[in-house]
Amino acid sequence: MPAPRPNPHVAALRAYLPGEQPRGDGWVKLNTNEHPFPPSPRAVDAARALLAEGAARLRLYPPPDAAPLREAAARLHGHPAADIVAGNGSDDLLNLLIRAYAGPGRPVGMVDPSYSLYPVLAGAQDAPVIRVPFPPEGRLAPDALAGCGAAVFFLTNPNAPLGHAFPPSEVEAAAGRFPGLIVVDEAYGVFADADCARLPSRLPNVVVTRTLSKSHALAGLRAGYALCPPGVAEVLHRVRDSYNLDALAQAAAAAALDDREWLAEATARVRAGRARLADGLGALGWRVRPSQANFVLADPARRGMPASPDAAESAFAFLRSRRILVRRFPGHPLTAAGLRISVGNPAETEAFLAAAADWTAGRG
């Protein structure tokens, strides 16, 4: 009997490739933009308190509407809880938005380069993908978005992997011209100088998604939320799994969002680490792109090997031989010569800079 055949558009789909997750100890892991510091103690305590209630609590389904998390997000942003949708990380929310607003004949738009998951989610829905080139001067062009033909457009802000952030005024101007839905993916929004969290309350076609993986050091629990204009949340609930966020994630995420003192302090530490990383690489002669995220994109170079894809591959392999993981994106001209390096804790950053200095000097 022949093997079952998937849908043709799924058979043609290339799965998303996440950053390497190494096994064993001794690695400096700067390849997946995880938060370098532990989460809020209040988040940990909330998860422990739920577990302390025992098996009787775990045998029950979690709140289907994730009310504790949504209400905490509402307090944080001053946005109506009814217009907030919780998800299993923001990736879940991106999937829901494509499921609800895109499909055959209803393309997904994206800035190129940006998050490589968007084409995968679009392909799973059999939606065409329209790539709008990253603007050469870093300014968002409303006409480029308005005329691209997409039904839903994903704007990673700050951009990954470039680190560039579009000001909210540029996003608002673009949304005013765009005939469909603009999704501002703010996975790295807390690390930027400004964010777009208030736009959904003013514009009927802007959704802002957030994840607690980057901002609140909860990547292991997978929690996120979308700030929606009126009417959009109700649409997303139609296609959402009834229990898309488990009880532990709901409890920890709600407590984390309420701990604003931790967020301010941790964000300041990440921004300081980003400056140290950029300054250290600049001193080695690497080209460092300005970043408002929790990573930097830098082009390695040394005597006899100027910045190039070959230099990036050489530095990547050398760092891995030192058990230091960073990320490469060789498939785009803007990123092919670079390495994306997550902000680590101070010890990780210094270990990385020492290894980068050895590669630059031709040692090792």
Residue 246 CB-density burial (10 A; 0-12 exposed, 13-18 middle, 19+ buried): middle
Q: What is the dihedral of CA 329, 332, 114, 22, to 10 degrees?
A: -10
C-alpha angle 267/216/299, rounded to 5°? 60
Q: What does the DSSP assignment read for 164-221?
A: ----HHHHHHHHHH-SSEEEEE-TTGGGSS---TTGGGT-TTEEEEEEHHHHSS-TTT
| Predicted local confidence at residue 127, as pLDDT | 97
Domain limits of the chain? 8-39+261-361, 41-259
> Which pTM was predicted?
0.96
| Predicted local confidence at residue 359, as pLDDT | 98
176 Cβ contact partners less than 8 Å away, ≥ 6 residues apart: 142, 203
Domains 8-39+261-361 and 41-259 fall in the same CATH topology: no
| Predicted local confidence at residue 364, as pLDDT | 64
User: Which CATH number does 41-259 carry?
Assistant: 3.40.640.10
Rounded CA gap, 274 and 98, in Å? 33
Contact between residue 206 and residue 199 where contact means Cβ atoms under 8 Å apart: yes
| Predicted local confidence at residue 25, as pLDDT | 87
Low-confidence ranges of the chain (pLDDT < 70): 364
What is the residue whose two structure tokens read 């870093």?
138
Reported for 297-302, long-range contacts at CB under 8 A and 24+ positions apart, including other chains, are 297/161, 297/162, 297/163, 297/335, 297/338, 297/339, 297/340, 297/341, 298/338, 298/339, 298/341, 299/337, 299/338, 299/339, 300/339, 300/356, 300/359, 300/360, 301/360, 302/359, 302/360, 302/361, 302/362
What is the residue whose two structure tokens read 């898309």?
244
Superfamily of segment(s) 8-39+261-361: Aspartate Aminotransferase, domain 1 (3.90.1150.10)
| Predicted local confidence at residue 234, as pLDDT | 97
